[in-house]
Amino acid sequence: MDNKERNSGVLLHITSLPGTPGIGTLGKEAYKFIDWLHGAGQTLWQVLPLGPTGYGDSPYASFSTFAGNPLLIDLDDLVSRGWADAKDIVPPAYIKRKGKVDFGSVVWWKMPVLYKCAAFFLANARPEDKARYGQFKQEQAAWLDGFAGYTSIKKFYDAKADKEKVHGVKSMWNQYWPKDLARHDDAAVAKWEAEHHDDIEQIKAVQFFFAEQWDALKQYANKNEIKIVGDIPIFVAADSADVWANRHLFQFDDETLLQTCCAGVPPDYFSETGQLWGNPLYDWDEMKKDGYSWWVARIRNMLRLVDIVRIDHFRGFEAYWKIPYGSPNAIKGEWVKGPGKDLFDVIKEKLGDLPIIAENLGVITDEVEKIRTDCGFPGMKILQFAFNDNEWTEDSASIKDLPHNYDTSDQIVYTGTHDNDTTAGFLTGCTETCRKNVRSYLGLPPAASVRTMTTALIRAAFASTAASCVIPLQDVYAVGTSARMNMPSTTGTNWAWRMDDKLLDEKGSAMLRQLSLLYGRNQKPKAENAGN
């Protein structure tokens, strides 16, 4: 990533786009958003992970780190391409175009529709489209074959578990599937694939739909001088094709097929009991034996999809918080050394320069920062972290997230991230002392409103020396806590916010355009894709 280029953009996940049935998609509204970004003088669009979401609907817990999320596929586009029958995509009355995403309802309705569309495509697609599909299968076989097999088996045994009222971890591949399939026995998997050919072919076709729509959208963004910033979690989900097909690369008991430990972080800003993510931990010694080939393939795949990659929880490469499997929270764990810079040296040797953003939030040591800076990866600053409930003192001026303390060359500043409250929500919910500190630092009068403070924080981010500035769309319009994307360590209400279809107005565009002009962030990105 070119750290000398001053630029700016907006954070908005695909699911939050308006207008389409049930959930945001890669359709017309996504193109409208790119047009709005371009008109606003922005050159970055940051999204959350793009993989198929599992239980809890989190994009950070996907069934595959390589596959695309089928729920993001735009059905109208399939019809316009001649790949689906219009009568098959009509949503039922309970699927709404406004309001928060009801993931359960969307999955219940949309997944069968997508498989019906896939069957239509396989039977009726034009020869040139089928040729492109064949090329896609060949080029992506390294992950696609395993993902399709896993998904086919999972569909069958999830339905069986549901009938038998077996839920949660007990219905996962390592506890519920037949042992030969759970162990990924080659003969058993091959037999399943032969007996479920049509199902597996439909799963692959759905992934082709996603790839075609995403590639077209990314090309449109790049044509409009906008780079897409993608996001990958450092860890993968236990219930995933990644773990099932590569169990030897993770810390599992080979007899029981259970994790021996899991990932998380110790108590921090977000949670007094830490965050118990539950993800399997890598066996880094095993990964090193073949030159970290799985990670090389993962980064290569991401650079096929996006221009810049943000790696979540970067500090886990220096050392990771190892929690015994079955622990009720993340308090009792230990720091264990990770692969460090060696991993990225290998990836860089295989792929060239890496346009990577390192998420360096939380408990960050000098060792973590040394790896980041030695790799040349920019880190993150969060303006909300710069203000607290303490009265301002001389020591307060040294808070690292305050704009005057940034290192010009290797920082990306955010007002907040997907894990923070919206800035308006943060300012509304914090103490009066905190709001006083914000107003004092920004030179605002005592009566300044939450909206005024939010706008002033955005201006401070743009004015900072940080190379890049990314603002969540919620903050551009000072939307409150109801628009928060995620509350760490909670489930059930996260990831569901969808923007109002009237939100992208000229007022918000004009503000960003003016700030970019004032603070030299209207430089255009290079025409070539940094990931290719």
Catalytic residue numbers read 312, 359, 419
Count of C-beta atoms within a 10 Å radius of residue 293? 14
Give the number of other Cβ atoms within 10 Å of residue 413's Cβ. Answer: 24
β-pairing, 308-312 with 275-276?
A: unpaired
Q: What share of the chain is helix, strand, coil (3-state, %, to 5)?
A: 50, 10, 40
In order, the DSSP letters of 274-335 are -EE--PPPB-HHHHHHTTSHHHHHHHHHHHHH-SEEEEETGGGGTEEEEEETT-SSSSS-EE
* Neighbour tally for 88: CB within 10 Å: 16
Strands of 319-324's sheet in order across: 261-262, 319-324, 334-337
Of 62, 64, 66, 43, nearest in space to 54 by CA: 62
Residues in the chain: 532
Q: What number of H helices and E strands is found in the chain?
A: 19, 13
> Is there a contact between 43 and 8 (Cβ–Cβ < 8 Å)?
yes
Is residue 334 a contact partner of residue 274, using CB atoms and an 8 Å limit?
no
Q: Rounded to a whole number, what is the distance in angstroms from the first to the last CA of the chain?
A: 13
> To which residue do tokens 């969540």 refer?
472
d(CA 146, CA 190): 11
* 309, 295 contact by CB (below 8 A): no
Q: E strands of 41-171, at which residues?
A: 44-46
DSSP strand pairing (468-472 vs 7-11):
parallel
Place of tokens 């080979």: 254
Burial of 393 (0-12, 13-18, 19+ CB in 10 A): exposed
- CB neighbours (10 Å) of residue 28? 14
What is the distance, to the nearest Å, from the Cα of residue 8 to the centroid of all Cα atoms in its chain? Answer: 19
